[in-house]
Amino acid sequence: MAVVDIQFSPANTDWPTLRTATREADARGYGCAWVLDHLAGLPLDGSTMIEACTLLGALAATTERIGLGTMVANVWNRAPGTLVSAAASAAIIADRPTYLGVGAGTSPTSSWAAEQHAVGHVLEAEVSDRHARVVEVLDLADREWRDDRDEAFATFPLPRHRPTTIVGANSVALCRLAARHADGINLQWSHPRRDQLVAETEAALGGRPFVRTAYTTFAPELLDPDHPTRRSMAAAGYDRVVLAVFDDLRSWLSDERAPGV
């Protein structure tokens, strides 16, 4: 059965509660805590936000066992070099398994782009250009985190545990990109073409090791590995299940059920 992970939203939750919830997830046996990457709370109908890399570093310093990662970091919110160094820095602080999940971002005409427009970030209109930015980040991470890296990177942060790179994919093109350039993929379980995307990913992999994560909204019944949805995920070959808690965390904290129970 897949490892069960958790994701909390800073859009409607303060830092002390986020910290408490992540520590509780650590104690309950969740595999990884994933952080969102938004500059503002508005896209998630929230009133605030904590920047993803800042939150990742803070959680790395205040938890003990649980894995940590971005799901997913928008490659247009930071320069590629800044994102790669930030992920490596969080991995050094955590000194345990971490993940750099990345996404291609949205079109400049999408309503989701409002937060980027507000701070003057330039978004590319062409999908191919947005995908090229994902490849740029992944290739830079590979070059910068290699044990035999170029002398130019000699004093850049190099974690003892190299972060696993994952692409958040919603298209065939991104699935193929992930299979060529990343260590894994994240697919939304409710995606209408989920089976096709899985098939395209597997065809492009060529049998190499790869992490498969499924993303869905938290429901207590999904903690049960015998739940029909969990069984379907396992049958489809998913390694990890990311359960997203977007409501007030206090209700999640009051329910002490753990994964697998």
* % residues pLDDT > 90 (the chain): 95
Instruction: Confirm whether 37 is domain-assigned.
Output: yes
Instruction: Confirm whether 170 is domain-assigned.
Output: yes
State how far the Cα of 202 lies from the Cα of 190, in Å rounded to an integer.
Answer: 19
State how far the Cα of 132 lies from the Cα of 256, in Å rounded to an integer.
Answer: 43
Which pTM value belongs to this model? 0.96
State how many domains the chain has: 1
The CATH number given to whatever domain includes residue 145 is 3.20.20.30
Instruction: Confirm whether 261 is domain-assigned.
Output: no
What domain range is 52 assigned to?
3-254
What band does 261 get if pLDDT is binned at 50, 70 and 90? low
State how far the Cα of 153 lies from the Cα of 141, in Å rounded to an integer.
Answer: 11
pLDDT digits (tens, 9 = 90+) for 183-233: 999 999 999 999 999 999 999 998 899 999 999 999 999 999 999 999 999
Instruction: Confirm whether 60 is domain-assigned.
Output: yes
Q: Structure tokens of 112?
A: 């989701």
Query: Are 157 and 97 contacting, i.e. CB atoms less than 8 angstroms apart?
Result: no
Instruction: Confirm whether 216 is domain-assigned.
Output: yes
State how far the Cα of 138 lies from the Cα of 117, in Å rounded to an integer.
Answer: 25
CA 2 to chain centre: 16
State how far the Cα of 29 lies from the Cα of 49, in Å rounded to an integer.
Answer: 26
Instruction: Confirm whether 75 is domain-assigned.
Output: yes
How far CA 253 is from CA of 28, 46, 184, 248, in Å, comes to 11, 19, 30, 9
Instruction: Confirm whether 260 is domain-assigned.
Output: no
Whole-number average pLDDT of the chain: 96
Instruction: Confirm whether 223 is domain-assigned.
Output: yes
pLDDT digits (tens, 9 = 90+) for 128-187: 999 999 999 999 999 999 999 999 999 999 999 999 999 999 999 999 999 999 999 999
What band does 247 get if pLDDT is binned at 50, 70 and 90? confident
